[in-house]
Amino acid sequence: MSANRGAHRHRVLTSIGKGLLGVGAAGAGSLAYAGLYEVNAFRLRRVTVPLLPEGARPIRILHVSDLHMTPYARARQRWLSGLGALEPDLVINTGDNLAHQESVPVVLDSLGHLLDRPGVYVWGANDYYPPKFRNPLRYLLGPSRSKRLPERMLPWQDLGRGFKEAGWIDLTHTRAALEIKDVRIGFRGTDDAHIDQDRYADVAGPIDRDEIDLAIGVTHAPYRRVLDAMTIDGHDLIIAGHTHGGQVCVPIYGALVTNCDLDTRRAKGLSQHSADSRTAWLHVSAGVGTSPYAPIRFACPPEATLLTLTSRGENAMG
């Protein structure tokens, strides 16, 4: 760790610590655990979702989200690099990749062999805008809504070029289709609803079951308006990130916030979403990283998810 980086991390943790001192020494101990251990205690969540036509072979999808990558996040980079060995049939990246001007090559290197697999992606606000310091305790008070700079200052377009050169498909307000293991998968995506950039209407319309066996909606922030619209159109599965799983959670109880209008019970993992008598599976990733200004996690380890899609009629797990 460079001296500058170490000093920065020290300042950030100190400022968070001052906040937690208000709740006593137990808070300081928890901070040390959250900032020094859990933030790098990566895990691979595994879920099984019964969505495929009868007789179809299982399809393995790796969902990665919220890398918030900096050049200094070496443990995060090493763990991501190891995910290539999973050799998934498809990678879905739900945005918030960047937290530093020089992170594009780091993200591409860390994804490594995953870029050799088919992939789709959408962007999050933290692909466009650099992280800003704010009191991390405010995160617990409700969705963050700050005035954003009009100019997108992070090199998200360079990252998009890297993704596209690898053959990954940008789903921002776009429909796309891939055939994987003889299953015709249709995708629709939106830009980030957290900064009101979502325009689902651009891709809306009932799923055409003559052309699509499996419909997957992809979005960064799981705001209910996006989930409702995708569900009503007949999507089978919706994939999102953004929540960080609540990031600072209460053991056993779970998340206190989702940083959007989704209820806290669905802050991470596999659940379902219903609207207008239709129901879709929903998978929300707790994410791999955190903002460099809030480098803590508690009762909510960083994660990626391997979703195994199986035939309808089998049991869901996860």
| Amino acid found at 84 | G
Specify the DSSP element, H or E, that contains 19.
Answer: helix 3-21
Nearer CB in complex with Fe ion: 51/221? 221
Which CB sits closer to Fe ion, 139 or 185? 139
Residues forming contacts to Fe ion in the complex (CB under 5 A) are 66, 96
Give the nearest distance from C-beta 284 to Fe ion in angstroms: 12
The span from the CA of 231 to the CA of 228, in Å, is: 5
CB of 248 to Fe ion, least distance (A): 14
Nearer to Fe ion, 197 or 231 (CB): 197
Shortest Cβ distance from residue 270 to Fe ion (Å)? 19
Complex with Fe ion: residue 96 or 303, whichever CB lies closer:
96
Euclidean distance between CA atoms 62 and 56, whole angstroms: 19
Phi-psi region of 105 (alpha: psi -120 to 50; beta: other; left: phi over 0): alpha
Least Å from the CB of residue 281 to Fe ion: 22
Cβ-based burial of 314 (10 A; exposed 0-12, middle 13-18, buried ≥19): middle
Cβ nearer to Fe ion, comparing 186 with 189: 189
Amino acid at 225: R
Least distance between Fe ion and beta carbon 221 (Å): 9
Helix axes 104-111, 74-82, angle to 10 degrees: 30
